[in-house]
Structure 1
Amino acid sequence: MKMAKELAKAYDPKDFEDRIYAAWNDKGCFRAEADPKKTPYTIVIPPPNITGQLHMGHALDETLQDILIRWKRMSGYSALWLPGTDHAAIATEAKIVEAMRKEGVTKEDLGREGFMKRAWEWKKQYGGRIVEQLKKLGSSCDWSRERFTMDEGCSKAVKEVFIKYYEKGLIYRGERIINWCPKCRTSLSDAEVTYEDQAGHFWHLRYKIKDSDGYLELATTRPETLLGDTAVAVNPKDERYTDLVGKTVILPIVHREIPIVADDYVEMDFGTGVVKITPAHDPNDFEVGLRHKLPVINVMNDDATIVDDYPAYAGMDRYEARKKIVEDLEKEGALVKIEEYSHNVGTCYRCGTTVEPKVSTQWFVKMKPLAEPAIKAVKNGDTKFVPERFDKIYFHWLENIKDWCISRQIWWGHQIPAFYCDECG
C-alpha cells in the first residue's frame, strides 16, 4: 500500500515558486500575440532605474499591474505587459562615480571609452538583478519583448524624434537660465529638482544712488550673486520710486554703475519694494533682464566657485564667498541688518546638493505647443483623472511650464545627435 506524502508544516517558496514560474514562462503563458479576433490591452512597465534594486514601491506597483494584466488576459483580451529597464543617466552615473571614488578612480582616469565599458557592466549586473526580482514577484511580463532605454531600438527612436522635433522647430539650442548641479556638474530639468525648506537669512543692503546722498534698500537671500547684479528694479506703480526710474545706483564692493528699472515683476508690498536683478543666476531676474535688455554676467564656475573676474573672491566656494562678501559689505557700510529667514530651496534629486540657477547654452524643447493639446484633452474629457482633484495639479503644471532643458553634461545616456563644424561653429 502506497503512503501519501505528508504536507510540510511550513510553506517553503523555494520548493514551488521558481518551478511554477519557469513552467508558465516555458509554455508561453505571458506571450502576447497580435490577434484580429481579440481586443488588445497593453501596459508598458514604468521602467525601473538600473541604479540598484527594486524597493517596496516597485513591489506594490508591479503587483497592481500584474493583477490588471492577468485579469484582462483571462477575460479574452490580447494582453501585453511590456517589461524593460531605464538607464537613468544622472542617477546611474552618480552611483558608478561613487563606487569608483571608493576605489580611488575617477572618470578622467578611465576616459570616456573606459567609463562607458564600466557603465555597461553595471547595467548587466543591476539591470539583470532587477529582471530576476521582477520574476521572483511572479510578474507575468512578455520577456521575449524586454527592452532597455539605451538598446538599439530605443536609441534609434530617440534620434528619430529629436530630428523630427528639430525640423519642426520644437527643439532648439539656446542660452537660457537652467538648473545646474555643482556636484554632478550637469544641467537638470525642472522635474529633477527637489524643493526643501532651508533655514537661511535675509541680508538687507544699501545701494547708493549716483550723484546723491540717498540709498535704495533691498534684501537678498544670496548676497554672493550681488557680483552679477546688472540692475535694481521697482514696480512702475510704486510712487515711492517713480522719480528714480532711469537713474543709476553704485553696486556695493564692486562699484559698478547699474540702472534702476521699472518692472511689474516687483511686488510693492514685499520688503522695501526694491529687488536686485541678477539675470545670470535667477530665473525671474533672467526674464526681467530680457525685457530691459540688461547684460548677463555669470559669476560662478561649474563647481559653484567664483570666477576669476573678481580677484578678491576668485576660486572661493559660493558659501565661502558669501561669508567674505558679507564681511566686505559690512566694512563698506552697505550692510543694514541680517534677519533669519526660512525659504524653499531647489536641490539635486540625486545628490541633494543645492542647485545653482545659471545661464547656460543648452538644448531645449518648446513646451507651449506640446502642452496645449494635453491641456485640451483633459478639459474636453478625453482624458480623466481619478480622483478628479488631480486635474488642478496637472493644469497648474502645464499652464506654467517653461521650455524643457534636455541636454546633460554626463557620459552615460543618449548623446544629442548634433554635430558642429570646427571652422564656423
Structure 2
Amino acid sequence: MNRKMERIRILHYLILLCLLLAACSHLPPDNVLPAERYYMPQRESPLQQQRDYQVRLANNSRYIAPEQPYQRYSTAEYNAPLDLSQTTPAPARALPAGIPLAPGDRVRVSIVEGEEFNGDYVINRDGTLRLPYLRPLPIAGLDLTRAEQALARALVEEGMFRAHFVQVSLLNLLWAPVKVQVAGAVFQPGQVQINNRSAEDIAQQLTAASGDYAPDRSLTAALQAAGGIRPDADVSHITLLRQGQRWQVDLSGILTGNPVPDIALTANDTIEVPSSGRFHPELVRPSAITPPGMRVFISNLSVPADSNAQASVNEEGTRLPYGTQLLQATVGANCVGGSSSVNSSRYVVLASYNPLTRRSEVIERNIERLVRDAGRDEFNPYLLPGDALACYDSQASDLRDIARMVTDILLPLTLLKTLR
C-alpha cells in the first residue's frame, strides 16, 4: 500500500514538472523587449544590473519584430530606387591615362649611343630611378612616356647628350604590388595592397615580352580588395586623390554595361567612395566592384552540440553568393520544410550590422510567413558579409523534447523498481 502511494506521489510530481516546463516553453524570452524594439543578450546578473545594461545597449541595437517591415535606412525619403541612367556627367578634367610607375617596378632603359646607361633597373622605395653618373631621378607617378621625357631632360641637363640627339626608351618588365588607401562606403576600408604576384607569376612575367598592361593595379581591383562597395555607395561620384590632385570617376557603367574608365593606380593613391544615404538593392549582386561572395554564419541546431565538430561548424563558416536573401539562406540551412504540424511555426533570427545607422539589428521572421512574402525585400532582406542567422524550433518541438526528457527520467526509475 505504501509503495503504491509512493508511485502515485512520484507520478503527481512528474505531471506537475511537465506542466511547469510546458509553461516555461511558452513564455517569451526576457531578452526581447517588444515595446522598445530592442534585442538584448541573456545575462546572469541581478535584475537592476540587467536593466542598466539593457539601457546602455539599446542605443547600439535594434529589434525588428516578425510582422514589422525591415529597411536598411531610417527615413522614407531614401525609399527611391537607384537610377543609374541619370548619373552626373563626368567632370571636364581629363582622367589620368597610362599606368603610373611605382616603387618596386622593374624597367629596362635603352639609350642610343649610351651603352653605359643601358640595363634593367628597379625603382627605389623613394620613387627615384638611379642610373650611373646621374642624380636620382624621381619618376614614381609618371607613365612610361613622361618618364622617358624626364630621363632625356636629365641627360641633357647633366651634359651627357645634346637635346637634338638624345633618344631614350623605357620598357616595363614587372609591375610591382602597390599599397593604396580606400575610404568610405566599402565593407573593409583602410590600406590595401593590390597586384600581388606569386614567385611563379613573377618569373613568368620577367621571361615574357614587356608591355603596358596591369589589370590588377586598377581602381576596380582596389575596390575589390577593400571588400567591395556597400549597397549604399554612390558609384557615380567616386574620388581619386593622387599627389594633391583630385579626379571624379563614374563607375555606374559596370552595373549598366556602359564603358567604364578603369584607372590604373600607383602607390599612396587614395580612393573615396561616398555614401548615398540609402540602401540600393541594385548594388547587391556580384560585379567587378562588389564582393563575389560572402561569409555568413548559420546555426540550425535543435539541441546544443557538445563541440563544433558535432555541430558541423568549420572554420570558414558558410559561404554564399553576394545577393543572397534571407529565405535562400534559410532553405540552405535546412530550416524550411518537413512536417507541417511540427515545423510550420518555426522561426529564424537574423543578426546584421546596418552600415547606414551603424547599429546592430536583429530581425525575427516566421518561416512560413517568410516563404509567402519572399518577393518583398522588407520581409526578405538581403544578407551582408558577416551576418549570422539561427533557426529555432516550434512549440510542438519543445513539447516533444519535454516528453523525451520525462521519458528519460521515468525509465531509470522503472528499471530500479524492477530490480527490487
TM-score by length of 1: 0.24
* Larger helix share, 1 or 2: 1
Structure number with larger C-alpha Rg: 2
